[in-house]
Amino acid sequence: MLRQVTATRYVTPLRSGGSVPGVVEADDEGTYVVKFTGSAQGRKALVAEVIVGELARALGLRFPELVLVGFDPAIAADEPHQEVRELHAASAGVNLGMDYLPGARDFSPEIAEVFDVHPVEAGRVVWLDALTVNVDRTVHSSNLMLWPTLGVAPPRLWLIDHGAALVFHHRWGTTDPAKAYDFRHHALGHYGPDVRAADAELRPKVTEELLRAITDEVPDAWLADEPGFGSPEEVRRAYVEFLHARVRASGDWLPTDFPSRDELAAENARRAARTRRDRPDWLKRVPDLHGKPAAEQDWSVHLG
């Protein structure tokens, strides 16, 4: 079961994430990035975080520990921004925390140019994302971290932020478990991911027993009142059945078409040219901040 801790000190909000998670210290002396039940993404984002994150860990991929965090909004009473205080007020009780990786760096396109990822490791990550329909790990927003950071040997690739995965649970019963999705622009696509090796290695490990154990980690309150279901246990069973059916259909959805670095660069150049051409005259005078060289980038930690 996920460990349960209680937040004792609110440190800061993280505005780099759309859900505005917060860094907190807890009674186990740990520091966590907390995603709140009251965020705009809703509780399904937290369900996806638990299921995909714990599946990643079970398959041997690096993912920070998740904990259930008891949160009292009173500890963040000094937060100056009203919208953040309102988020906290709507999130009293149990929320989801991810172990904070101090000094971790976002796996940005600039870092991707100089950091090597083995095709086998890349294949495992792509396979997990394809299985769980996580289309939110792209070259533009990797949801990957390097920790320890570059210059500290050896840096490792860590997965974060799976709240946008499991898209099928937004429209139960309308998605074919064998459906293929477009992963050509996956953050690790240009490393030549060996997804066939990953399929052979990981597919046998994703059993019904494993999926049941993982869905049991999701609190009942996050599964309650799901339209079309009579109980949290019925919802858990739906996750297990869909994901197990999808595993068995991996031959239908296994992504194998990835552009090379050169093809990706050419495509980005064409996109940039179209953007410049289609800009109104007044906007053409605005500098393109996304085109700054790596040395000028803001390396602020992105934690979701």
Structural domain includes residue 237: no
Question: In sequence order, what are the residues at sequence separation of 6 or more whose Cβ sits closer than 8 angstroms to the Cβ of residue 276?
Answer: 284
What's the one-letter identity of residue 81? H
Report the predicted TM-score, pTM, of the whole model to 2 decimal places. 0.87
CA distance 206 to 130: 13
95 by DSSP, 3-state: which?
A: strand
Is 14 inside any structural domain?
Answer: yes
Q: How far is CA 49 from the centre of its chain?
A: 7
Residue 74: inside a domain, yes or no?
yes
In a domain, 291, yes or no: no
Per-residue tens of pLDDT for the chain, all 304 residues = 899 999 999 999 997 666 899 999 999 999 999 999 999 999 999 999 999 999 999 999 999 999 999 999 999 999 999 999 999 999 999 999 999 999 899 999 889 888 999 999 999 999 999 999 999 999 889 999 999 866 666 889 999 999 999 999 999 999 999 999 999 999 999 999 999 999 999 999 999 999 999 999 999 999 999 999 999 999 999 999 999 999 999 999 999 989 877 877 787 778 777 777 776 765 555 554 444 433 333 333 433 3
Cis, bond preceding 148 (omega within 30 deg of 0): yes
Kindly state the DSSP code that residue 186 receives in the 8-state scheme: B
SS3 229: coil
265 in any annotated domain: no
Residue 23 CA to residue 31 CA, distance in Å, equals 7
Q: How far apart are CA 266 and CA 56, in angstroms?
A: 33
Q: Parallel, antiparallel, or unpaired for β 22-26 and 31-35?
A: antiparallel
Indicate whether 116 belongs to any domain.
no
Task: Tell me if 172 is assigned to some domain.
Answer: no
Q: Which domain holds residue 60?
A: 3-99
Count up the domains in the chain and report the number: 1
Residue 151 lies in a domain: no
Taking phi over 0 as left and psi of -120 to 50 as alpha, with beta for the rest, 110 belongs to: alpha
